[in-house]
C-alpha cells in the first residue's frame, strides 16, 4: 500500500491532481524494485496526511526516484492508451469535442511523463516505440503467428523500466537480470490479460491475441508457467538490500495470478528455504524450452495488452483456437458447465464511487472476497490470507 500511495502522491506532486487517475498496480512494481535495491532506510518513506481512500488515516508512503519513475512510466503509457481509444472511437470518444479534450490531456500526460523520465535518466522513446509497434503487429497477426511476437512490445517496455530501477539504485550489476525479469513480467501481463478477456472479446468481436493467432489455452498456460519460473531465476541473479516485498510480488503473487486466471492451484516455488527463494521448482525444470510444461488478472485500470500497453480493438478476431475454451475445449479440462456470463464493467465515474466505498470500508484489505470497482471481477482481500506454500523464506510475517 505504501508504494501505491507513493505513486499516487508522486503524480499529484509533480503533475497535478488530475494525473492521479493514472495510478495503477503494474506501475508500482517499478517503485518496489527501486526501493528493494537501495541501501539503507533513510529517505525511503514519509508519513502522508489523511486520504479518503485510506478512510482518512495517515500512512507511511514510499517516496524518491522509484515513485517518480513509476509515475513517469504510468503517464506515458496512459497517454498512449487514451490515444488508442481515440483512434478506435470508443464510447464518448466518438464525439469530436470529447476526443479533442482527451487528445489534449494525452498530450499533456505524454509531455509530463517524458520530462520526469528525462530528469531520472530514462528514455521513454522505448515505451512510445513499443506502443506504436503493438498496433502494427496486431494488424498483421493471424493463425500461425507466434504468440510471443505479439507480446514482444510489452516485453520490451517492461524490460526497460525494470532495468532502469537498477540504475536509479546504483546497482549496475542488476541491470541485465532485471531486464530479463521485466521482459517475462510483461509477457505474463499480456498473456493473462488475453486469457481473461478472450470470452468477452470473442463475444464482442474485439481483437484477442489467442483467438487471432490460433493459440490454445494449453500453450498459453505453458508460456505463463515458463515466464513465472524465468522471473524467479532472473531475480536470483540480482542483489537486493531488502527483497521481501519483491519476493512476495514476483515469486508468490505471479503464481497466484496464473492459478487464478486458469482456475488452478499450485505452489509458488520450491520449499527448501531462503537460498531457493527464487530458485527452480522441484524436478529441476528450466524455463523457456518449448517441450516443457510447468507446474498475474491484469490489475491495470487502463486495461490493454499488459503493463498499460494498448491492445488494438477493431474487427472480429480471426483464427479461433481449436477445441473451444478451456483446456481442450468445452470448459476447463475438456468438459464441464459453461462459465457464467461476465458482468458488464462499470463506467469510469461509477467505478470511482465504488472504489471509494471499498477503500473507506476497508473491504479491499479485509474482505475475503469483493467485486472489483471497474472490471467487476472477483478479487481477494489483501489481508485475507498469507498462503506461502510452506515457504521458509521469512517473508510471511503478516
Say which CATH number the domain at 49 has.
Answer: 1.10.600.10
pLDDT score recorded for residue 41: 60
Q: Please say if the pLDDT value at position 389 is more than 60.
A: no
Asked if residue 283 is part of any domain, the answer here is yes
Q: Please say if the pLDDT value at position 307 is more than 60.
A: no
Asked if residue 359 is part of any domain, the answer here is no
Asked if residue 27 is part of any domain, the answer here is yes
Radius of gyration of the chain (CA): 20
What is the DSSP secondary-structure string of 173-227?
A: GGHHHHHHHHHHHHHHHHHHHHHHHHHHHHHHT---HHHHHT--HHHHHHHHHHH
Kindly report which listed range (63-77, 313-327, 340-354) carries the lowest average pLDDT score: 313-327
Average pLDDT taken over every residue of the chain: 75
Residue-wise pLDDT tens digits, 37-96? 988 664 467 777 777 766 677 777 766 788 888 888 889 888 888 887 887 787 888 899
What lies within 8 Å, CB to CB, of 291 at 6+ separation is none
**Burial of 335: CB neighbours in 10 Å, binned 0-12, 13-18, 19+:** exposed
Asked if residue 347 is part of any domain, the answer here is no
Range(s) of the domain holding residue 173:
2-316+325-335
pLDDT score recorded for residue 284: 40
Asked if residue 357 is part of any domain, the answer here is no
What lies within 8 Å, CB to CB, of 348 at 6+ separation is 374
Asked if residue 89 is part of any domain, the answer here is yes
pLDDT score recorded for residue 364: 67
Asked if residue 274 is part of any domain, the answer here is yes
Residue-wise pLDDT tens digits, 186-238? 999 999 999 999 998 899 888 999 999 999 999 999 999 999 999 999 999 99
Asked if residue 379 is part of any domain, the answer here is no
> What is the domain count for the chain?
1
Average pLDDT of the segment spanning 174-192: 96
Q: Given the C-alpha cell 541485465, which residue does it identify?
A: 176
pLDDT score recorded for residue 310: 56
Residue-wise pLDDT tens digits, 123-141? 999 988 988 898 899 999 9
Whether the model pTM is above 0.85: no
Confidence grade of residue 281 (pLDDT, cut at 50, 70, 90):
very low
Amino acid at each position: 500500500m505504501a508504494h501505491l500511495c507513493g505513486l499516487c502522491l508522486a503524480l499529484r506532486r509533480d503533475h497535478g491532481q488530475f494525473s492521479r487517475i493514472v495510478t495503477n498496480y503494474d506501475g508500482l512494481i517499478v517503485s518496489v524494485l527501486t526501493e528493494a535495491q537501495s541501501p539503507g532506510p533513510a529517505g525511503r518513506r514519509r508519513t502522508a496526511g489523511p486520504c479518503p481512500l485510506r478512510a482518512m488515516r495517515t500512512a507511511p508512503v514510499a517516496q524518491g526516484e522509484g515513485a517518480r519513475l513509476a509515475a513517469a512510466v504510468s503517464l506515458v503509457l496512459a497517454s498512449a492508451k487514451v490515444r488508442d481509444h481515440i483512434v478506435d472511437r470508443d464510447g464518448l470518444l466518438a464525439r469530436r469535442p470529447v476526443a479533442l479534450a482527451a487528445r489534449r490531456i494525452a498530450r499533456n500526460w505524454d509531455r509530463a511523463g517524458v520530462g520526469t523520465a528525462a530528469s531520472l535518466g530514462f528514455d521513454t522513446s522505448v515505451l512510445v516505440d513499443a506502443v506504436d509497434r503493438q498496433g502494427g503487429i496486431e494488424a498483421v497477426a493471424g493463425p500461425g503467428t507466434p504468440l510471443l511476437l505479439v507480446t514482444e512490445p510489452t516485453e520490451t517496455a517492461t524490460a526497460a523500466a525494470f532495468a532502469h530501477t537498477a540504475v536509479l539504485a546504483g546497482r549496475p550489476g542488476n541491470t541485465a537480470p532485471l531486464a530479463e525479469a521485466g521482459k517475462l513480467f510483461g509477457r505474463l501481463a499480456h498473456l493473462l490479460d488475453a486469457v481473461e478477456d478472450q470470452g468477452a472479446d470473442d463475444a464482442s468481436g474485439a481483437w484477442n491475441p489467442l483467438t487471432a493467432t490460433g493459440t490454445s489455452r494449453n500453450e498459453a498456460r505453458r508460456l505463463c508457467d515458463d515466464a513465472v519460473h524465468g522471473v524467479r531465476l532472473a531475480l536470483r541473479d540480482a542483489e537486493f538490500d531488502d527483497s521481501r516485498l519483491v519476493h512476495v510480488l514476483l515469486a508468490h503473487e505471479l503464481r497466484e495470478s496464473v492459478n487464478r486466471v486458469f482456475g488452478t492451484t499450485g505452489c509458488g516455488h520450491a520449499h527448501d528455504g531462503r537460498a531457493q527463494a527464487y530458485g527452480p521448482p522441484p524436478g529441476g525444470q528450466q524455463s523457456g524450452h518449448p517441450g516443457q510444461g510447468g507446474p498475474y488478472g491484469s490489475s491495470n485500470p487502463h486495461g490493454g495488452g499488459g503493463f498499460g500497453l494498448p491492445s488494438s480493438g477493431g474487427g472480429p478476431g480471426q483464427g479461433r483456437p481449436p477445441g473451444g475454451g478451456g483446456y481442450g475445449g468445452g470448459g476447463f479440462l475438456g468438459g464441464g458447465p459453461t462459465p457464467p456470463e461476465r458482468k458488464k464493467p462499470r463506467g469510469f465515474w461509477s467505478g470511482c464511487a465504488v472504489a471509494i466505498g471499498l477503500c473507506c470500508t476497508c473491504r479491499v484489505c479485509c474482505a475475503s472476497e469483493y467485486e472489483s470497482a471497474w472490471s467487476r471481477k472477483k478479487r481477494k482481500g489483501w489481508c485475507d490470507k498469507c498462503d506461502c506454500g510452506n515457504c521458509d523464506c521469512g517473508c510471511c510475517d503478516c
